[in-house]
């Protein structure tokens, strides 16, 4: 059965890629610079997804988020390629969607320059064009503001009704709702299953491969199906 949407907008961290070790390494670089003890990956994971400035405010409270973000950006290239890997099923799903002519993009609160470099390094730029990866810099505000989703749909040449948003956080659900598009989520990132269920997505998948199952059918946005 053909995929029921013409385009899919993916979140990046926790949806397409496990980048938490890399993010934690750079967070702890900043914390060490500020004479703070390192955090464990499981602590950092719960704070990811709201944009770099918010992450810096959360992990180094009482310090200048802009200055700390600069330290983070300076350090991150030294770890992000080695410590970021695609999540299970992602490559196969991207290949199959692309083969069906589905247009693919990314909407992430990660700095967009980093996202695009990782898309290229992970060799998925054959399926997700780099100019279809969007971040807060492209929309003036981070998710849940729907600006980057609208920018991505414009770039891909698709309408709201033709678009699916796929993420791993409640913020992705709120973004999709604000943009008026269907949203499917996975508990593979920063939000747990209970939080995702409570936020009422159109579908919860336990693994990315479920995107390709034959019973995929468009659903009215807000149906909250599992």
- For the segment 157-196, what is each residue's pLDDT rounded down to a tens digit? 999 999 999 999 999 999 999 999 999 999 999 999 999 9
Do the domain assignments include residue 35?
Answer: yes
Where is the domain boundary, 57, 78, 99?
78
Assessment of whether the complete model's pTM goes beyond 0.75? yes
SS3 184: strand
Do the domain assignments include residue 47?
Answer: yes
131 is a catalytic site residue: no
Tell me, yes or no, whether 61 and 121 share the same domain: no
Tell me, yes or no, whether 97 and 195 share the same domain: yes
Tell me, yes or no, whether 155 and 114 share the same domain: yes
Judged against a pLDDT cut of 60, whether residue 219 lies above it is answered with no
Q: Which of 11, 13, 168, 202 is catalytic?
A: 11
What would the mean pLDDT of 80-94 be, rounded to a whole number? 98
Burial (CB < 10 A; 0-12, 13-18, 19+), residue 158, is buried
78: left (phi over 0), alpha (psi -120 to 50) or beta: alpha
124: left (phi over 0), alpha (psi -120 to 50) or beta: alpha
What would the mean pLDDT of 46-56 be, rounded to a whole number? 95
Q: What is the pLDDT of residue 140?
A: 84
Tell me, yes or no, whether 97 and 207 share the same domain: yes
Tell me, yes or no, whether 30 and 97 share the same domain: no
Where is the domain boundary, 28, 53, 78?
78
Tell me, yes or no, whether 155 and 206 share the same domain: yes
What would the mean pLDDT of 215-222 be, rounded to a whole number? 50
Tell me, yes or no, whether 90 and 176 share the same domain: yes
Do the domain assignments include residue 2?
Answer: no
Tell me, yes or no, whether 146 and 64 share the same domain: no
Tell me, yes or no, whether 58 and 117 share the same domain: no
What CATH code is carried by the domain that includes residue 122?
A: 3.40.50.1000
Do the domain assignments include residue 28?
Answer: yes
| C-alpha to C-alpha distance for 174 and 171, rounded to whole angstroms | 5
Q: What is the pLDDT of residue 220?
A: 46
Tell me, yes or no, whether 120 and 99 share the same domain: yes
Q: What is the pLDDT of residue 2?
A: 85
Tell me, yes or no, whether 39 and 109 share the same domain: no
Q: Provide the residue range defining the domain that includes 28.
A: 20-78
CA 28-33-38 angle, 5° bins: 30
Domain total of the chain = 2
């Amino acid at each position: 059965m053909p995929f029921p949407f013409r385009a899919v907008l993916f979140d990046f961290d926790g949806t397409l890629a496990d980048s938490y070790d890399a993010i934690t390494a750079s967070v702890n670089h900043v914390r060490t610079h500020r004479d703070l003890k390192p955090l464990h990956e499981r602590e950092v994971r719960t704070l990811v997804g709201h944009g770099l400035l918010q992450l810096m405010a959360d992990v180094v409270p009482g310090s200048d988020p802009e200055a700390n973000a600069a330290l983070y950006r300076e350090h991150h290239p030294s770890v992000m390629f080695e410590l970021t890997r695609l999540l299970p099923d992602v490559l196969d799903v991207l290949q199959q969607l692309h083969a069906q002519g589905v247009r693919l993009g990314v909407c992430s609160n990660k700095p967009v320059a980093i996202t695009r470099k990782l898309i290229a390094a992970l060799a998925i730029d054959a399926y997700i064009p780099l100019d279809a990866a969007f971040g807060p810099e492209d929309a003036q505000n981070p998710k849940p503001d729907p600006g980057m989703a609208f920018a991505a749909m414009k770039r891909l040449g698709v309408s709201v009704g033709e678009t699916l948003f796929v993420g791993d956080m409640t913020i992705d659900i709120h973004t999709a709702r604000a943009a008026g598009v269907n949203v499917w989520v996975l508990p593979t990132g920063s939000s747990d299953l209970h939080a995702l269920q409570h936020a009422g997505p159109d579908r919860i998948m336990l693994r990315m491969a479920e995107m390709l199952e034959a019973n995929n059918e468009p659903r009215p946005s807000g149906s909250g199906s599992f």
